[in-house]
């Protein structure tokens, strides 16, 4: 990639992540005082406690909540608002990887609604492609195992683009 293109894609990635992260932080601040444990670890425990009695709507909501918790850890680090913590970043990536393996199965016919856009059922191939992009980007970042902020920007930045890309078409934002 030329230096200009590289810079441009980085700027876009940082923009995308601020959209993704800020889009939901208000909500979090309002009704969920943060516990002292790492939000990612907590979300992880939560997702493992899930069982078959949950509706697909509840389950996908829970999973995206854990994805959000990870984004709220990693986002501020990439934006330079928090010190970079490689272990925390890898933990968030692992959560995303795990959610990525489960998420696609949680949109059966008849489960329309919530923040899931009708486009998911109208264009399942497109939705699956957006999911695959996210999974690929996440796995690629895990393979990098970024130890420095620069490496994290280059490898995790693109993951945020894939979040935004899917949301643009397949998620209805309930508040902005």
Query: Which residue has 């699956």 as its token pair?
Result: 128
- Which of 40, 64, 90, 141 contacts ligand HEC by CB under 6 A? 64
Give the residue from 130, 136, 133, 164 showing the smallest Cα distance to 15. Answer: 164
**Interface with ligand HEC, residue 68, by CB under 6 A:** yes
Contact 95, 43 (CB under 8 A): yes
Total residues binding ligand HEC (CB under 6 A): 24
Number of H helices, E strands in the chain: 7, 0
Q: What are the residues facing 56 on neighbouring strands?
A: none
Q: By three-state DSSP, how is residue 146 classified? A: coil
- Which of 14, 16, 39, 65 contacts ligand HEC by CB under 6 A? 65
Alpha carbon distance 109, 149 (integer Å): 42
- Which of 85, 115, 136, 151 contacts ligand HEC by CB under 6 A? 115
Q: At residue 113, what are phi and psi to the nearest 5 degrees?
A: 125, -175
Which of the stretches 3-11, 41-49, 78-86, 109-117 binds ligand HEC when contact is defined by CB under 6 A? 109-117
**Interface with ligand HEC, residue 84, by CB under 6 A:** no
Q: By three-state DSSP, how is residue 110 classified? A: coil
**Interface with ligand HEC, residue 116, by CB under 6 A:** yes
**Interface with ligand HEC, residue 61, by CB under 6 A:** yes
- Which of 13, 14, 43, 71 contacts ligand HEC by CB under 6 A? 71
How many CB atoms neighbour CB 10 within 10 A? 16
**Interface with ligand HEC, residue 44, by CB under 6 A:** no
Alpha carbon distance 33, 95 (integer Å): 21
**Interface with ligand HEC, residue 20, by CB under 6 A:** yes
* Beta carbon nearer to ligand HEC, 45 or 172: 172
Residues forming the site for ligand HEC (CB under 6 A): 20, 24, 57, 60-61, 64-65, 67-68, 71, 96, 114-116, 130-131, 134, 159, 162-163, 166-167, 170-171
């Amino acid at each position: 990639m030329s230096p200009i293109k590289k810079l441009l894609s980085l700027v876009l990635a940082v923009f995308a992540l601020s959209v993704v992260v800020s889009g939901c932080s208000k909500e979090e601040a309002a009704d969920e005082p943060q516990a002292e444990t790492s939000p990612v670890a907590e979300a992880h425990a939560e997702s493992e406690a899930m069982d078959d009695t949950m509706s697909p709507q509840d389950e996908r909501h829970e999973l995206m909540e854990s994805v959000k918790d990870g984004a709220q850890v990693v986002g501020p680090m990439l934006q330079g608002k928090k010190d970079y913590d490689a272990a925390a970043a890898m933990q968030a990536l692992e959560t995303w990887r795990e959610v990525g393996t489960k998420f696609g199965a949680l949109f059966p016919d008849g489960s329309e609604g919530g923040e899931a856009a009708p486009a998911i059922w109208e264009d399942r191939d497109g939705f699956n492609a957006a999911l695959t992009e996210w999974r690929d980007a996440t796995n690629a970042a895990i393979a990098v195992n970024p130890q420095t902020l620069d490496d994290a920007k280059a490898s995790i930045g693109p993951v945020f683009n894939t979040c935004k890309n899917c949301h643009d078409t397949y998620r209805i934002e309930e508040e902005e």
